[in-house]
Amino acid sequence: MFVETLLERELAHAGLKDPDRRLCQELVYGTVRWQRTLDWLIGRKTQGRVQKTGLQNLLRLGLYQIFFLDRIPNHAAVNETVELAKRLGFGAQAGFVNALLRGYLREFQPTKAALEDLKRTQPALGHSHPEWLVERWQKRWGIEPTNRLLAWNNTPPELFARVNTLKNDAGKLLEQWRAENVDYDFVRHDWLEENLVFRLKAAPPLERLPSFQAGKFYVQDPSTLLAVREMGARAGEDVLDLCAAPGGKLTCLAQMMGNAGRLIAHDISAERLKIVTENCARLGVTCATTALPSTMFAHVGTGFDRVLLDAPCSNTGVMRRRVELRWRLEPKEMERLRQGQLDLLRQAGSLVRPGGTVVYSTCSLEPEENRGVVDEFLHGHGQFGLERERELRPFVEGVDGAYVAAIKRAHR
């Protein structure tokens, strides 16, 4: 289970006030993101000796506050970490924790300079990423673009909202947001309609907002809407979303179709489809029907005009949102995922009518999961042709990474 899920579960019944909740989230996510660099700091003071996991985490937490978080005074970070060590059963090591952290307070400026120098001399270590992944990106893009990507991955993700035009328009939503103390900004990209997506600069917890509860917007990064735009779905068409959960792209397709047509939401489990159903209900989507693999055949008929395949992938384009992904991912994962992606694309191709379109998308930056999959599919399916493709790179477009390819099936 991912750290984001575990933390959300704990926070649900922790009873923290909103500022404390946000601080807790920042401490957890930041410590996980900067884990490798923090371990380097610890190793400098311990001659590389491995600490017990709980003690190592406490040291990481204290050092993160000292060197990567400005909102907590350094002396308070040390004192709280020492007290936490005592409460968690590390009383015998409290003096060691205190000495290590206070030692770094005395060397604060030289250490800050060393951390900055590390980003230049050893980018993977300085930016807290796996060596193999950084080398891979450097070979493709070069050092400076890769460094910009590494920095991007270490910044907290922004929050974006897509206006749900099935229930309101942008003008009405913005008026309600102002009454709800939501601070927003306009978002413009060449693949977005005007006033479709807004950046939420500050807002109360979304689940408490009447505008959210009423389904007047959906939280969604702008990059995810490139695939929806390439679908070009129209009212009255038969459309399939092959991997639909949690339903962000699906509900936007319904919006494009004006809730008129047949929209099938397929996914691998009832639990995942339950999330889709809940989102459809909140957003007022009435043209969508859910389908499990066991019931999919009943919905196929003569095929679909358009099929969206948002394939499971390595998620390297959304690494700043998946804070521990960098520590879970392994090189061999790309090949395993590629085979599954190819199988799904073949399935999507078999479900689209002659003259129809398959849109293949991922949130991966890796070529073997993107164009590599598309090329292999096209090589074995002569009736299909690549119409267009596009890759969004965080260090270029300033949004989450994504790949989208529109693949057309011949009329005969």
The pLDDT of residue 349 is 97
- Alpha carbon distances (Å) from 275 to 254, 395, 408: 16, 32, 30
The pLDDT of residue 201 is 95
Contacts by 298-304 with C-beta closer than 8 Å and gap 24+?
299/240, 299/264, 300/351, 301/238, 302/353, 303/238, 303/351, 303/352, 303/353, 303/356, 304/238, 304/239, 304/240, 304/264, 304/351, 304/352, 304/353, 304/356
Q: Which of 252, 280, 313, 363 is catalytic?
A: 363
CA 309 to chain centre: 17
DSSP-assigned beta bridge partners for residue 385? 408
The b-or-e profile of 56-68 (16+ CB within 10 A means b, else e) is bbbbbbbbbbbbb
Helices 143-153 and 131-141 pack at an angle, to 10 degrees, of: 130
The pLDDT of residue 12 is 81
CA distance 221 to 232: 19
Rg (CA), the chain: 24
SS3 34: coil
DSSP-assigned beta bridge partners for residue 384? 409
CA distance 44 to 54: 19
| 363: annotated active-site residue | yes
Tokens 């389904």: give the residue: 215
The pLDDT of residue 301 is 86
As a whole number of Å, the end-to-end CA separation of the chain is 46
User: Using an 8 Å Cβ cutoff, are 286 and 334 in contact?
Assistant: no
The pLDDT of residue 18 is 81
pTM of this structure:
0.94
The pLDDT of residue 1 is 66
The pLDDT of residue 10 is 86
The pLDDT of residue 17 is 84
pLDDT (tens place) for every residue of the chain, 412 residues total: 688 888 888 888 888 888 888 899 999 999 999 999 999 999 999 987 888 999 999 999 999 999 999 888 999 999 999 999 999 999 999 999 999 999 999 999 999 999 999 999 999 999 999 999 999 999 999 999 999 999 999 999 999 999 999 999 999 999 999 999 999 999 999 999 999 999 999 998 898 999 999 999 999 999 999 999 999 999 999 999 999 999 999 999 999 999 999 999 999 999 999 999 999 999 999 999 999 999 988 888 889 999 999 999 999 999 999 999 999 999 998 889 999 999 999 999 999 999 999 999 999 999 999 999 999 999 999 999 999 999 999 999 999 999 999 999 998 7
